[in-house]
Each structure stands twice: as structure tokens, then as C-alpha cells.
Structure 1
Amino acid sequence: MSVADVAVIGGTGFYSFLEDAEEHAVTTPYGDPSAPVAVGTVAGRRVAFLPRHGKEHQFPPQSIPYRANLWALRSLGVRQVLAPCAVGGLAASVAPGDLVVPDQLVDRTTARVGSYVEHGATHVPFADPYCPRVSSALAAAAPDVQRGGTMVVIEGPRFSTRAESRWYAAQGGTLINMTGAPEAALAREMQLCYATLALVTDMDAGAEGDDGVGQAEVFALFKQNLERLTGLLTAAVEALPDPDGCTCATWAEGIELTYDLP
């Protein structure tokens, strides 16, 4: 029986979302998720919440148990995932305080396990990494949410050099982040509809003038926008369409998966 059909994965500074939630401790073949999964009701729907960094931000971006997190959510019945995150800006089209629903991703991470496939041949289609239906619900949640753009995901935990930042921008990057991969690809392998809502907290080192980005300003701007972000996510949850028939799940029809789904 499904416990929740929608999930929110909270990023930096976003460690709670639900009121009167019940916690579910989930054991997975990939270890424990970042925290017990909280489940409550939002806009009349059963929603799961999982802070990707843990309740106390104990997991840095390169150590987040991404596979356990997505497996745990699917095991509870989740089919659609909203993934808010903090990002830096790489292009003049964005500024601190902007909310963006990107449509493309570039994975520049180097040391993470990025798949459930450990043997055999299962090749997930990923040309369009974010669910168009969930993305539309997020983009429609408020008139000032931007739609489109490329999010570059770096290994972290350090920020980029100015040269790296300028190189990412020159290659077409709009946003830069440390947690968007392999999360999006694992969601696709789990046949989940997944999209991200990116809050621009700073302009990255190569896109700004004097000083490089620092942790304090990132955390501070995210905290200032937390209530706004929570409201947008609530509106998006209410507007989510039926996931039946979405290509995020139907890609696996007729394919013999080489990993188990919960």
C-alpha cells in the first residue's frame, strides 16, 4: 500500500516541510537514507519529505546516500519528486533571489555512484533529465519562476575557481550546484517523475566582480527565501498532474532491468 505518492527532497537550509508528520525509518539495499522519511498531508495529498543532507546537514554533497534516498522514496509509493536546491548563477539571465526550473543538466561530478546498474545492460534514456509534467507544475506555481536553463553539477564541497566558473558559463551553463547529480538520473532509473526548483543564492566566482562566493551568503539568502519556497512547493504539489503514462516511467516498458525496484 502506498504511504505517499509525492515527495519533496529538501536541500541546503531546507530541513523540514511538513506539519504533524509521521516518520518512516526505511532500510534499503544501499544503506540508510539521509534521514527517516517524514510523511504528512499537503494540499490534500500524501507527501513524503526527505532532507538530502540529513536533519543536521551531516552529509556533504559528495557523501549524500543518493541511491538509498531515491530507493526509499519509491518503496513508500512515491511517483513524483520535487527537488528544491540552492544554486549559484553563471549567466546574466539570473540573479540572487531568482527561482528557476532548469530543463538541462551537465554532470561534472567524479566520485559518486551514479546508477543502480551494477551488471548487465540497462541504459536509461536521459536526453531530457527532468520530468516535463512536474517541471510545468513548478514553473506555474508563481509568475516570477523562470523556466529553462542548464544546471552544471560539480563534485564539491569546494566552490569553483573563477576560471572553472567562466568555463562552465562559456559552455552554456546557467546555474551551478553540487547535488543535482546523480539524484536526477537515479530518479529516472527508479521510474520517478523528477524535477528541480533552483533558488539562486549567489553569482558564481567567474560571474561576479570582486569576491568569490562564500558559504555564509548562500545559507543566509536561502533562509530569507524559505517561506517563499515552501509556498511555491505547496502550490506545485496541488497542481501536479496524474503521472500515469509519463515517459519517466514508460521508458522501461519492454526492457529487462538488471536491478530490482522496491
Structure 2
Amino acid sequence: MTGLLAIIGGSGFQRLGGLEVTAQLRPDTPFGPLSAPVLRGHLARRPVLFLARHGDGHRLPPHRINYRANLWALHAAGAGPVVGLAAVGGITAGLSPRTFAVPDQLIDYTWGREHSFHDGESLPVRHVDFTEPYCPRLRHDLLCACAAAGVPALAAATYGATQGPRLETAAEITRMERDGCDLVGMTGMPEAALARELGLRYACLAFVVNWAAGKTAGAITMAEIDGHIAHCTGQVERILAALAAAS
């Protein structure tokens, strides 16, 4: 891989097990403060970067994350491939809790977020191709890492990015399923598009922590979600260690 492997930690991953931190970087960016320091260190004896998307203590909701500052800082620190961790809801059959997937497509339902560096103010307007929102090469490497870690993962899925922080209504999930979404999360955009604008190779490692609204009887609880995140944590760390070792 060209450039350092960078990992963006989501819900449940304010820290990354197995990461030996050697430095904390707090760069100034043209877009304001980032969510948390960029941690430089070693994973599986390979140099990596790590950034907690929601900040220390999970203090930032999805719509208030400074995605531009985060991606800019990772790029400035020497990132090449970037893996975004995503705790998601399962929409379609086969994506039950504790299932892993490496999405190949996404649909953006977010609004009001700063979604481009090339907004005509910070940088001149530029249109990037986004036909394939995730890097095919990094997706392949991630799937190989899943296999090496002994964690089955779906090789294709469509991620639907919603605004949050509330969970969705049953009708919204029905619409998303009609649109072709398999997974629902709140942080997949504009992260993927910003990475593309910077020339970073971005992919998502998604793990299902609840059935989406209306897919099971009763309310979705944080206790349920937290339990599934805890179960998936060790598997996520094994996958990332295998990916780092192969880099």
C-alpha cells in the first residue's frame, strides 16, 4: 500500500486494541478542529494512523462531525488507504446483527453537512467521479483480511447514509430498502466523498449491530446495540491487524 494505513474509528472504537501509540498529532487545518488527535503508532508491527470519528467519549453526533478536518488531517499525516469502521443497522435478509460486510455502493440521504473541499470558497469547484464510491483494491484487501481473521463478510452491499442522530422510522427504512439499501448508518457520507477528493483510497468495514426500524417487533435499544458492538469488537480488531500485517 502507498501511504500509511489509516483507520477511522466509529461507535465503540474511540480506541483501537492492539495499537501501540507512538505520537499524537493535532494539526491545524483550513477547516477547523478535527474530532480527536490523529494517533500514529504500530498495529501488527506496521505503522498506522488512527482517528476517533466521534471524539473522546463519543461526544460528537454524526451531523456535527468535522469530516473535512478529519480527512484533511489524515492526508497531511501521510495516509494512503483509509478504512472507515461503521456500526450499522441491517435492512435486507442476511444482514442480521453481528454480520460483517464490505460495502461496494452507497446512497446519501444526509443534508446540511460540509460535503466537499471544492465548494468554490475553500478550493475551486471540481467534480470528482464517484461511480464506485469505495476503492476496489482496498475492498479486496479488506475481504482478504476478513478471511485471514476467520470472520465471514459479505463482499457487496449498499450503505444508506442518514442524517441522525435519531434512528430512522419504519417507513424510512421501507423506502431505503426500495431504493436498494442493505445497510443503514449515519457517518458514511461525506467521509467517502471527501476521501475521494483528496485521492485517498477509502473503504468501509461495516458490522451490523441492530435490525433497522420495522424489521423486528419492539423498539431498538442502546443496550442491544452496545451488546452487539461489544461482541464484534474482537473480530474488528483481528481484521484490522490482518490488514495491517499484509500492508
Q: What TM-score, normalized to structure 1?
A: 0.87
Write the letter of the residue equivalent to 1:106: I
In the alignment, what sits opposite 2:213? Answer: 205
C-alpha deviation, 1:44, in angstroms: 3.4
C-alpha deviation, 1:116, in angstroms: 0.3
Deviations 1:224-251 (A, max 9, x none): 21111111111112234xxxxxxxxxxx
Deviations 1:197-243 (A, max 9, x none): 001001101222x1132222212211221111111111112234xxx
Structure 1 outlier segments of 4+, above 6 Å: none
Select which of 177, 185, 204 maps to 1:177.
185
Is the 8 Å Cα contact of residues 100 and 148 (structure 1) preserved in structure 2? yes
Is the 8 Å Cα contact of residues 37 and 51 (structure 2) preserved in structure 1? yes
Q: Is the partner of 1:225 in helix, strand or coil?
A: helix
Say if 2:136 is the partner of 1:121.
no
In the alignment, what sits opposite 1:163? Answer: 171
Select which of 221, 224, 228 maps to 2:228.
221
Deviations 1:121-160 (A, max 9, x none): 3101001000011111111123311110100000000101
In the alignment, what sits opposite 1:112? Answer: 113
Write the letter of the residue equivalent to 1:211: G
Percent identity over paired residues: 41
Distance 1:202 1:147 in 2: 20
**Relative to structure 2, which stretch is displaced further, 162-171 or 151-160?**
162-171
RMSD of the alignment, in Å? 1.4
In the alignment, what sits opposite 2:62? Answer: 61
When residues 60 and 180 of structure 1 are mapped into structure 2, their CA distance, relative to the original with a 3 A threshold, is: same
Say if 2:23 is the partner of 1:15.
no
Is the 8 Å Cα contact of residues 85 and 198 (structure 1) preserved in structure 2? yes
In the alignment, what sits opposite 1:141? Answer: 145
C-alpha deviation, 1:32, in angstroms: 1.2
Q: Is the partner of 1:9 in helix, strand or coil?
A: strand
Q: What TM-score, normalized to structure 2?
A: 0.92
In the alignment, what sits opposite 1:234? Answer: 241
Q: Is the partner of 2:68 in helix, strand or coil?
A: helix
Structure 1: runs of 5+ lacking an equivalent: 241-262
Q: What are the equivalent positions in structure 2 for 1:19-38 lying under 5 Å apart?
A: 19-38=20-39
Distance 2:15 2:153 in 1: 22
Deviations 1:146-179 (A, max 9, x none): 1101000000001011111111112111000000
Select which of 127, 131, 134 maps to 1:130.
134
In the alignment, what sits opposite 2:86? Answer: 85
Deviations 1:12-42 (A, max 9, x none): 0101122243211111010111111111112
Structure 2: runs of 5+ lacking an equivalent: none
C-alpha deviation, 1:69, in angstroms: 0.2
Write the letter of the residue equivalent to 1:203: W
C-alpha deviation, 1:53, in angstroms: 0.2
Q: Is the partner of 1:82 in helix, strand or coil?
A: strand
Write the letter of the residue equivalent to 2:158: T
Q: Is the partner of 2:79 in helix, strand or coil?
A: coil
